[in-house]
Amino acid sequence: LVPGLKAEGLKGALAFDEWWVDPLQLVSRNLDSAVRHGAEVRAGTPVDRLLLSKGRVEGVRAGGRNIRAGMVISAAGPWVDQIARLAGTSIPLRLQKGTHLIYQKRLVPVGLLLEAAGGGRYVFVIPSDKGTLVGPSDLPWPQGPDAVSTSTEELRYLLDSVRPYFKGFPERYDSTIVGARPILGQAGSEKLLSREYEVFDHSQRDGIEGFLTIGGGKMSDFGIMAEAVTT
């Protein structure tokens, strides 16, 4: 544990119990379930184009192969606009970059929500048997999801947000993770942006049959989002 950790000293912090979800394992187990129910999974196979005929999406071209389908559903997260553009339409996205610090040791006894450096935002400190996760940052990212990267300013921001609460919190972390949140296009400050999702029926919206997009949302909503786009 961090030296000098005392609950009564955590002014501006909220403690909660939270498991550290492994997103790769979560995706892998969902894919395994899909295969057991008859799906064909082609991981690491990007979509090159959509197969369009007379105003209808009839499948995709991926990995040098045409894959035909009665309905194509795009659940591509921060890439949904790129997929939509293959059909001649678009999805309004405002990508926000988020970075976490990863420590291989468990540094706090419970999950914490701390007021971040500069005020107005919060960062999590989430323990698990695998270590401790600190973050995230939340910055505009106009360069697209494939170019996402962590900046030294983000790393400093996260460390400066934690150390006022834990003077002995280690400066040296073991690794970082970074991603782009697929937030539906909105005006206003990033801290006020809604993480809601939306199902785009392109037949009604754009006159393109056989094509749906599920955009926005976040990992904790994935089950609800899947149900919304398939019912």
Below-50 pLDDT ranges, the chain? 1-3, 7-8
What local confidence, expressed as pLDDT, does residue 192 receive?
Answer: 52
What is the structure's pLDDT at 191? 57
Amino acid sitting at position 149: S
**Interval 14-61: pLDDT, tens:** 665 556 677 888 899 999 999 999 999 998 899 999 999 999 999 999
- Please tell me the predicted confidence (pLDDT) of residue 186: 60
pTM: 0.85
In 39-129, the DSSP E strands lie at 47-53, 56-62, 65-68, 72-74, 93-103, 111-115, 122-128
Q: What span, in angstroms and rounded, lies between the C-alpha atoms of 132 and 155?
A: 15
Identify the pLDDT of residue 43: 87
Identity of the residue numbered 66: N
